[in-house]
Structure 1
Amino acid sequence: MNKKQLPQMHNVGIVVESLDNAISFFTEIGLCLEGRSTIEGEWSGRVTGLDSQQVEIAMMVTPDGNSRIELSRFLQPATTSDHRSAPVNALGYLRVMFTVENIDELVLRLTKQGAKLIGDIVNYENMYRLCYIRGVEGILIGLAEEIRQ
């Protein structure tokens, strides 16, 4: 039986007010800046349904090159709503989770940059240590450290 291959996910998009701050935050987690540019023109508005738009973007990539976060700062039109302070049980975009090597050390580095730990770092069935962090601009991320026995 032939199984249909799933399409590869290219990126997750997050709209921010400051690309520089968001780039710094995701760099601290371990992602690398793959590229940065301004997207504009009639074609781009046709894709998003926003008509005429001008968006500065930065593409962040994981070290293995398989996953990306596209950070976008809208110059035109202005952003119309803000979901950054929504609680973790709100409908819609929730969070992006990263596997990390040393969760305690990374949480310490991120909190020094102003991130806030949501709840606690918990042990999940002796498989993972997990936590949520609300980082720069209120972006919610999850961190997971595999427990090696």
Structure 2
Amino acid sequence: MSIKRMDHLGITVTDLAAAIAFFEELGMELEGKMHMEGDLVDRVIGIEGSRSEIAMMRTPDGQYKIEFSQFEAPQSIDGSSHALVHALGLRHVAFIVDDLDDTLARLAPHGAEIVGHLEQYEDIFRLCYVRGPEGILVELAEELR
């Protein structure tokens, strides 16, 4: 086996501040921000002349991270940010929350909208999908046991 662990998931956005605010409200913690550019970055990502600001956020337990990138150059292109969940590619990130109703109420001022319906799966979970900034699909689940 060659994988030791997953380090992070990367999401490109056009409004870094909005992404940070949304995911902080969800409970993630900002680990740090930095400017990225130069020959090394260009060679790694395969885009010449790139400049971006990144923010690394982590879950409260420190186990998972999301890196948000906002490109200054070249201009970002829409990668189907409002695609439905069955579209090919990365579609959603999922979190277990303490109180789903409270989480939804706190995320609403940040533009979160329930995609379908809030549902209960047996006596195990209450769950729903919401769209966050940039159309990011976020699955939220509250454990009932």
Q: 2:133 & 2:12 partners in 1: Cα distance?
A: 12
Letter of the 2:136 partner, please give it.
I
d(CA) in 1 for partners of 2:41, 2:3: 26
- Give the AA of the match of 2:6: M
- Is the CA contact 1:118–1:131 (under 8 Å) kept in the aligned structure 2? yes
Q: Which residue of 1 aligns with 2:84?
A: 87
SS at match of 1:120: coil
Q: Aligned AA for 2:95?
A: F
Matches within 5 A, 1:26-45: 26-45=23-42
- Partners of 2:72 and 2:29 lie apart in 1 by 24
> Separation in 1 of the partners of 2:35 and 2:2?
33
2:137 corresponding residue in structure 1: 140
Q: What is the CA-CA distance between 1:30 and the residue it aligns to?
A: 0.2
Taking the aligned partners of 2:50 and 2:83, their CA distance within structure 1 comes to: 26
Q: What's the secondary structure of 2:78's corresponding residue?
A: coil
Moved over 3 A (4+): none
1:58 lines up with 2:91 in the alignment: no
RMSD: 1.2
Q: 2:23 is aligned with what amino acid?
A: F
Q: Which runs of 5+ in 2 are unaligned?
A: none
Structure 1: state its 5+ residue gaps. none
Say which is worse superposed, 109-118 or 99-108, in terms of deviation.
109-118
Counterpart in the other structure of 2:102: 105
Measured after TM superposition, the shift of residue 6 of structure 1 is 4.1
Matched, 1:122 2:119: yes
TM-score (norm 2): 0.95
Identity %: 44
1:9 to 6, 15, 19: 6
* Count of residues in Structure 1 that have an aligned counterpart in Structure 2: 145
